[in-house]
Every structure is written in C-alpha cells, then in structure tokens.
Structure 1
Amino acid sequence: MSESATPLIAFYRGEAGDHKGRTLEDIWALSPFWLEHTHDYVQWLFPIPEAGRFNGFAPLLGEADRTAFAQDEALRANQRRSLDVMLTFFGLTRRALVIEALPELNMREHIWLKRGGHNHLRISRIIRSLHLCQQPELAAAFQQAMIEIGTTQGVVSEQSIGYWRAANHS
C-alpha cells in the first residue's frame, strides 16, 4: 500500500484488499448471485462519508479520498468499471453517459424493479458515491436512468424514487 494511501484508495488502486482480503478485481469477477446475496462489498465499491448498517468494516469516504479521486483518473476509471459491474447486475448497460436497459431486463429476474429491498439502498449509495468521487455527470446519468427505468418498467416506490432524487446532493 502506498505510504499516503488510505485503505479505500489502496483498494481502488489494486494495492490492497477489502476487510476480507478481496481485491477490486476479485469483486468485479463475482457472479450476480453473489452480488445479490452478499452485503459487505458495495460500501467498498461506492464509498460515502456515512457508515452503513450492513458493514462496520467498510471505509468511510473522507476528504483525502475525495481529493485522490479528483486528482487520479485511474481511480475514477476503476469506479466506472465497478458501476458497469453493477449495471450488468441490474440488467442495464452503459455507453459513456448513456445508461439503458438490456433486452433481458424484467421484473421477475431483476428484483430492484420491485418495491423496497436492499438494492434500492445500493442505488442511492451508488448515485451519491459517484457524485462525491468527482463523477457528477455519471451520477446524474445513472440517477436519471434508474428513475426512468424503475418507474416505467417496474413498480419502484415513490419513497425510493425520492431517495434517488436526493442522493446526488452533498
């Protein structure tokens, strides 16, 4: 780990693992089943300044981390790849700032299209983290896509939509 790197930045640079020793590339390679049923990785992929309920070992996004993301395109690129992994999990795809549904997106297989659930919390976290990690345009594109797809192809609650709308405000 670089002498000045926080655990989060070392993880995002591929220099260290998370609290269970998993590297960023390890997580990128995991199955959709694992991504759905494991709850202690998304905080590493999409850090925010507040502690979550599900992973007391997750790093909090501090000012040093935000500065590192602002100054290092490789960190932002790795976070975009993390987003792409999650987009595939959600049944979506991305080309630059265009995020859209894959043809196989459906409510039966993609539980985030239904009311409630932990994936709605993940979506709020992702929007906020992208915004805080110096990718506001991508945060806005993801936010808009999730709201539009969630309300037109699913039955996402107004409460979740409200959280998503508010997620990109520091």
Structure 2
Amino acid sequence: MGHALSSVTAFYRGETGDHQGRMIQDIWALSPFWLEHTHDYVQWLFPLPEASRFNTFAPLLSAADRRAFAEDPTLRERQRRSLDVMLAFFGLYRREQHIDARSELNMREHIWLKRGGHNHLRISRIIRSLHLCHQPELAASFQQAVIRLGTTQGVVSEQSLAYWRQANR
C-alpha cells in the first residue's frame, strides 16, 4: 500500500470527504439539530479501530492513523476542534485540557443527561477515540466531566457510567 493516506488521516487533514462527501469543515459548521438527528458523522470525527454496529461506512482507526495523530500536532488540534463542536452540542466547554458545564446546561435541552440514548454511545466513542489518538489528558478530562455532570445534574444510568469509566482503558 506504500504511503497512501488512510481515509481517517486524509479526512482529518481536509484532503477528502467522508462517505457522503462532507468535508470536516462542513461538519464543524452544522447545527445542533443536525448533530442530534444525523447518525453517520461521529464515527468520522472520533474514529475507533473497531467497526461501528450502526454505520457500515464508518472508517476504522488504523495503526498508521494512530501514528499520524502521535506525530502530527495539527491532526490533534483538528480533533480538539471536533471535540469543541460536540462539547457545545452537549452543553459543555473546554479551556485547554479542562472541560466543564456551560451555565445553560439542563436536562430538557441536553438529553445526554437523561437515561440511555445514542448520545451515551457517542460519549463513550469520544473518550476512547481521544485516548487512542494521543490525547489521553483530554480523554480523561471529558470522561470525568460527563461522569460528574451525569450524576449531579442528570440521571445517567449506571450502565452508561460504567461504559464511560471503561472507555479509556
């Protein structure tokens, strides 16, 4: 295969679109409504080495991708931008490596604070992907924030909390 770019690395560098042809910058600009009701983008922003049960078009995070994220600070910075998009969607914000709740975080608008739902799977994926893409401090900060907020400001199920605790192992 030579030095051909993986779809994950090329997507993150803005050289290719996802399976729908969407460029990463296009996804970053989408509305919260779109982010909630579209289910085939989060696997591109936060890739994992395992196939997605829900999106057969999802790219897999390869060993070459992991090396690229380790070696290229621009890829890590672009993934932090993806994280910031999702944090805003979840009612959270990031300052450097610290993640916390925005003042408007509430269960009515931020449904991840309730039991179950696909956003809990997204959160597990984000924690694990950040960890695998050489951003372990950020993975841990996000993990701690969602566990704390999911139990103090929400009613997140014990099952989801257990997945989140395991996600960066």
Q: Which TM bucket (shorter chain)?
A: over 0.9
Q: CA deviation at 1:98?
A: 1.1
Q: CA deviation at 1:140?
A: 0.3
Task: Report the equivalent of 2:29.
Answer: 29
Residue 73, structure 1, aligned to residue 73, structure 2: yes
* Letter of the structure 2 residue corresponding to residue 23 of structure 1: M
Unaligned runs of 5+ in 1: none
Task: Report the equivalent of 2:83.
Answer: 83
Task: Report the equivalent of 2:10.
Answer: 10
Task: Report the equivalent of 2:120.
Answer: 120
Compare 19-28 and 51-60 and name the one that shifted more. 51-60
Between the aligned partners of 2:15 and 2:77, the Cα distance in structure 1 is 16
Matched position secondary structure for 2:58: coil
Between the aligned partners of 2:117 and 2:164, the Cα distance in structure 1 is 14
Q: CA deviation at 1:155?
A: 0.2
Unaligned runs of 5+ in 2: none
Please give the per-residue CA displacement for 1:134-166, whole angstroms capped at 9, x wherever unaligned: 000000000000000111000001100000000
Task: Report the equivalent of 2:107.
Answer: 107
* Letter of the structure 2 residue corresponding to residue 140 of structure 1: A
* Letter of the structure 2 residue corresponding to residue 95 of structure 1: R
Task: Report the equivalent of 2:95.
Answer: 95
Residue identity over aligned pairs, in percent, reads 76
Q: Structure 1-normalised TM-score?
A: 0.97
- State the superposition RMSD in angstroms: 0.7
Q: CA deviation at 1:97?
A: 1.2
Moved over 4 A (4+): none
Q: CA deviation at 1:4?
A: 2.4
Between the aligned partners of 1:4 and 1:78, the Cα distance in structure 2 is 20
Please give the per-residue CA displacement for 1:27-80, whole angstroms capped at 9, x wherever unaligned: 000000000000000000000011112210111111001000000000000000
Aligned residues: 167
* Letter of the structure 1 residue corresponding to residue 22 of structure 2: R
Between the aligned partners of 1:107 and 1:116, the Cα distance in structure 2 is 13
Between the aligned partners of 2:8 and 2:147, the Cα distance in structure 1 is 29
Please give the per-residue CA displacement for 1:93-135, whole angstroms capped at 9, x wherever unaligned: 1001111111111000110000000000000000000000000
* Letter of the structure 2 residue corresponding to residue 161 of structure 1: L
